[in-house]
Protein backbone atom coordinates (compact mmCIF):
# COMPACT_ATOMS: atom_id res chain seq x y z
CA UNK A 1 0.00 0.00 0.00
CA UNK A 2 1.39 3.39 -0.97
CA UNK A 3 1.79 6.31 1.42
CA UNK A 4 -1.14 8.08 -0.24
CA UNK A 5 -3.34 5.00 0.12
CA UNK A 6 -2.41 4.58 3.80
CA UNK A 7 -3.18 8.25 4.44
CA UNK A 8 -6.56 7.93 2.74
CA UNK A 9 -7.41 4.78 4.72
CA UNK A 10 -6.48 6.56 7.96
CA UNK A 11 -8.64 9.57 7.08
CA UNK A 12 -11.61 7.34 6.23
CA UNK A 13 -11.20 5.40 9.49
CA UNK A 14 -11.04 8.65 11.44
CA UNK A 15 -14.12 9.97 9.63
CA UNK A 16 -16.11 6.85 10.45
CA UNK A 17 -15.06 7.03 14.11
CA UNK A 18 -16.06 10.70 14.43
CA UNK A 19 -19.43 10.04 12.79
CA UNK A 20 -20.00 7.06 15.07
CA UNK A 21 -19.56 9.01 18.31
CA UNK A 22 -21.65 11.99 17.16
CA UNK A 23 -25.30 12.22 18.24
CA UNK A 24 -26.20 14.71 15.50
CA UNK A 25 -25.46 15.31 11.80
CA UNK A 26 -21.99 16.80 11.26
CA UNK A 27 -21.58 19.51 8.67
CA UNK A 28 -18.68 19.48 6.20
CA UNK A 29 -17.21 22.47 8.05
CA UNK A 30 -17.19 20.60 11.37
CA UNK A 31 -15.75 17.45 9.81
CA UNK A 32 -13.13 19.49 7.96
CA UNK A 33 -11.94 21.02 11.23
CA UNK A 34 -12.00 17.70 13.12
CA UNK A 35 -10.04 15.81 10.43
CA UNK A 36 -7.84 18.75 9.43
CA UNK A 37 -8.62 18.38 5.73
CA UNK A 38 -10.39 20.74 3.32
CA UNK A 39 -14.15 20.62 2.81
CA UNK A 40 -13.97 19.21 -0.71
CA UNK A 41 -11.90 16.30 0.63
CA UNK A 42 -14.46 15.76 3.39
CA UNK A 43 -17.30 15.53 0.87
CA UNK A 44 -15.32 13.03 -1.19
CA UNK A 45 -14.52 10.98 1.91
CA UNK A 46 -18.15 10.93 3.03
CA UNK A 47 -19.28 9.79 -0.41
CA UNK A 48 -16.63 7.04 -0.47
CA UNK A 49 -17.64 5.89 3.00
CA UNK A 50 -21.31 5.88 2.00
CA UNK A 51 -20.55 3.69 -1.03
CA UNK A 52 -18.25 1.42 1.00
CA UNK A 53 -20.86 0.79 3.70
CA UNK A 54 -23.42 -0.06 1.04
CA UNK A 55 -21.13 -2.30 -1.01
CA UNK A 56 -20.02 -4.43 1.95
CA UNK A 57 -23.54 -4.95 3.25
CA UNK A 58 -23.02 -3.03 6.46
CA UNK A 59 -25.75 -2.74 9.06
CA UNK A 60 -25.11 1.01 8.95
CA UNK A 61 -25.55 3.57 6.23
CA UNK A 62 -24.32 7.12 5.88
CA UNK A 63 -26.88 9.78 4.97
CA UNK A 64 -26.75 13.50 4.25
CA UNK A 65 -29.57 14.92 6.41
CA UNK A 66 -30.39 18.31 7.92
CA UNK A 67 -27.30 19.88 6.37
CA UNK A 68 -24.80 17.31 7.63
CA UNK A 69 -23.69 13.67 7.57
CA UNK A 70 -24.78 11.03 10.07
CA UNK A 71 -24.66 7.25 10.45
CA UNK A 72 -28.01 5.41 10.60
CA UNK A 73 -28.98 1.78 10.96
CA UNK A 74 -29.76 0.19 7.59
CA UNK A 75 -33.50 -0.07 6.74
CA UNK A 76 -33.15 -3.84 6.27
CA UNK A 77 -32.31 -4.16 9.95
CA UNK A 78 -35.42 -2.24 11.02
CA UNK A 79 -37.39 -5.26 12.39
CA UNK A 80 -34.52 -6.29 14.67
CA UNK A 81 -33.79 -2.72 15.78
CA UNK A 82 -37.50 -2.09 16.37
CA UNK A 83 -37.81 -5.16 18.59
CA UNK A 84 -34.76 -4.08 20.54
CA UNK A 85 -36.05 -0.52 21.00
CA UNK A 86 -39.51 -1.68 22.03
CA UNK A 87 -38.02 -4.18 24.45
CA UNK A 88 -36.31 -1.18 26.05
CA UNK A 89 -39.78 0.25 26.67
CA UNK A 90 -39.39 3.20 24.34
CA UNK A 91 -42.85 3.91 22.95
CA UNK A 92 -43.73 5.37 19.59
CA UNK A 93 -45.37 8.75 19.26
CA UNK A 94 -49.10 8.62 19.93
CA UNK A 95 -51.53 9.31 17.10
CA UNK A 96 -52.30 12.68 18.70
CA UNK A 97 -48.61 13.60 18.68
CA UNK A 98 -48.21 12.46 15.06
CA UNK A 99 -51.23 14.51 14.00
CA UNK A 100 -49.89 17.59 15.76
CA UNK A 101 -46.37 17.11 14.39
CA UNK A 102 -47.74 16.68 10.87
CA UNK A 103 -49.82 19.86 11.09
CA UNK A 104 -46.85 21.90 12.32
CA UNK A 105 -44.58 20.38 9.66
CA UNK A 106 -46.86 21.27 6.74
CA UNK A 107 -48.35 24.54 8.01
CA UNK A 108 -45.39 26.07 9.89
CA UNK A 109 -45.12 28.45 11.46
CA UNK A 110 -48.34 27.59 13.30
CA UNK A 111 -49.94 28.78 16.55
CA UNK A 112 -51.48 26.61 19.28
CA UNK A 113 -54.92 27.84 18.27
CA UNK A 114 -54.39 26.93 14.61
CA UNK A 115 -53.22 23.43 15.50
CA UNK A 116 -56.09 22.89 17.94
CA UNK A 117 -58.62 24.19 15.39
CA UNK A 118 -57.41 21.78 12.72
CA UNK A 119 -57.42 18.81 15.10
CA UNK A 120 -60.67 19.80 16.76
CA UNK A 121 -59.22 19.30 20.25
CA UNK A 122 -56.94 21.21 22.62
CA UNK A 123 -53.36 20.39 21.67
CA UNK A 124 -51.38 22.37 24.26
CA UNK A 125 -50.09 19.28 26.07
CA UNK A 126 -49.05 17.56 22.84
CA UNK A 127 -47.20 20.67 21.68
CA UNK A 128 -45.32 20.77 24.99
CA UNK A 129 -44.39 17.09 24.64
CA UNK A 130 -43.11 17.60 21.08
CA UNK A 131 -41.14 20.64 22.21
CA UNK A 132 -39.60 18.62 25.05
CA UNK A 133 -38.62 15.93 22.53
CA UNK A 134 -36.88 18.59 20.42
CA UNK A 135 -39.05 17.94 17.36
CA UNK A 136 -40.65 21.40 17.31
CA UNK A 137 -39.62 24.77 18.74
CA UNK A 138 -40.86 28.32 19.20
CA UNK A 139 -40.25 30.29 16.03
CA UNK A 140 -41.34 33.80 16.92
CA UNK A 141 -44.65 35.51 17.60
CA UNK A 142 -47.75 35.99 15.48
CA UNK A 143 -48.46 39.59 14.42
CA UNK A 144 -52.13 39.32 15.40
CA UNK A 145 -53.82 40.16 18.71
CA UNK A 146 -52.22 38.44 21.67
CA UNK A 147 -48.93 37.83 19.84
CA UNK A 148 -49.39 34.04 19.99
CA UNK A 149 -46.30 31.81 19.95
CA UNK A 150 -45.48 30.33 16.55
CA UNK A 151 -44.19 26.76 16.28
CA UNK A 152 -41.97 25.21 13.62
CA UNK A 153 -40.07 21.95 13.21
CA UNK A 154 -36.42 21.63 14.24
CA UNK A 155 -33.32 20.22 12.53
CA UNK A 156 -33.79 17.19 14.77
CA UNK A 157 -37.17 16.60 13.10
CA UNK A 158 -35.43 16.39 9.71
CA UNK A 159 -32.74 14.19 11.21
CA UNK A 160 -35.20 11.71 12.72
CA UNK A 161 -37.13 11.45 9.44
CA UNK A 162 -33.95 11.21 7.40
CA UNK A 163 -34.84 14.23 5.26
CA UNK A 164 -32.40 16.75 3.77
CA UNK A 165 -34.96 19.59 4.00
CA UNK A 166 -38.67 20.33 4.45
CA UNK A 167 -39.01 20.31 0.67
CA UNK A 168 -38.53 16.54 0.83
CA UNK A 169 -41.69 15.99 2.90
CA UNK A 170 -44.25 13.76 1.12
CA UNK A 171 -46.60 15.73 -1.10
CA UNK A 172 -50.15 16.09 0.21
CA UNK A 173 -51.74 15.98 -3.24
CA UNK A 174 -51.76 12.18 -3.69
CA UNK A 175 -53.08 11.70 -0.16
CA UNK A 176 -56.13 13.94 -0.22
CA UNK A 177 -59.45 14.07 -2.05
CA UNK A 178 -60.40 17.51 -3.33
CA UNK A 179 -63.44 17.61 -1.04
CA UNK A 180 -61.66 16.30 2.08
CA UNK A 181 -62.55 18.20 5.27
CA UNK A 182 -59.91 19.75 7.47
CA UNK A 183 -59.95 16.97 10.07
CA UNK A 184 -59.29 14.40 7.38
CA UNK A 185 -56.36 16.49 6.15
CA UNK A 186 -54.72 16.28 9.56
CA UNK A 187 -55.36 12.55 9.89
CA UNK A 188 -53.99 11.64 6.45
CA UNK A 189 -51.01 13.93 6.86
CA UNK A 190 -50.16 12.24 10.16
CA UNK A 191 -50.22 8.85 8.43
CA UNK A 192 -47.76 10.13 5.82
CA UNK A 193 -45.36 11.40 8.46
CA UNK A 194 -45.69 8.20 10.52
CA UNK A 195 -44.66 6.18 7.49
CA UNK A 196 -41.38 8.10 7.28
CA UNK A 197 -40.87 8.66 10.98
CA UNK A 198 -39.88 5.07 11.70
CA UNK A 199 -38.70 4.90 15.25
CA UNK A 200 -39.28 8.35 16.74
CA UNK A 201 -39.90 7.75 20.44
CA UNK A 202 -42.01 9.69 22.93
CA UNK A 203 -41.24 9.83 26.59
CA UNK A 204 -43.67 12.56 27.66
CA UNK A 205 -45.02 12.46 31.25
CA UNK A 206 -48.59 11.10 31.58
CA UNK A 207 -50.01 14.56 32.17
CA UNK A 208 -48.70 15.66 28.78
CA UNK A 209 -50.14 12.72 26.86
CA UNK A 210 -53.49 12.78 25.17
CA UNK A 211 -55.93 9.90 25.38
* CATH number of the domain to which 53 belongs: 1.10.10.10
Residue 190 pLDDT more than 70?
no
pLDDT of amino acid 8? 62
Q: Range of 16's domain? A: 3-76
Residues 196 and 127 in one domain: yes
Residue 24 pLDDT more than 90?
no
- CA 156 – CA 171 distance, rounded (Å): 20
The reply to whether 82 falls in a domain is: no
Residues 181 and 156 in one domain: yes
Q: Residue 97, CB half-sphere, CA atoms under 13 Å: how many?
A: 25
- Domain total of the chain: 2
Which secondary structure element, helix H or strand E, spans residue 62, and what is its range? strand 60-65
pLDDT of amino acid 32? 92
Closest CA to 98 of 73, 65, 120, 129: 129
Residues 100 and 195 in one domain: yes
Residues 93 and 72 in one domain: no
The reply to whether 124 falls in a domain is: yes
The reply to whether 81 falls in a domain is: no
- CA 160 – CA 172 distance, rounded (Å): 20
Mean local confidence (pLDDT), 73-102: 79
**Would you say the pTM of this structure is higher than 0.85?**
no
Residues 134 and 70 in one domain: no
Would you call the peptide bond into 108 cis, given omega within 30 degrees of 0 as the criterion?
Answer: no
Amino acid sequence: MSVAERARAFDTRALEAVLFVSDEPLTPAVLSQALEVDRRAVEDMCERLRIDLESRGSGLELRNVAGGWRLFTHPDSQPVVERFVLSSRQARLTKAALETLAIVAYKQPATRHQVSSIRGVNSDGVLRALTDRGLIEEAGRDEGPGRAVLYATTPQFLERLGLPSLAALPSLAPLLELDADIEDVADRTADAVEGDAGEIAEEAPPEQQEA
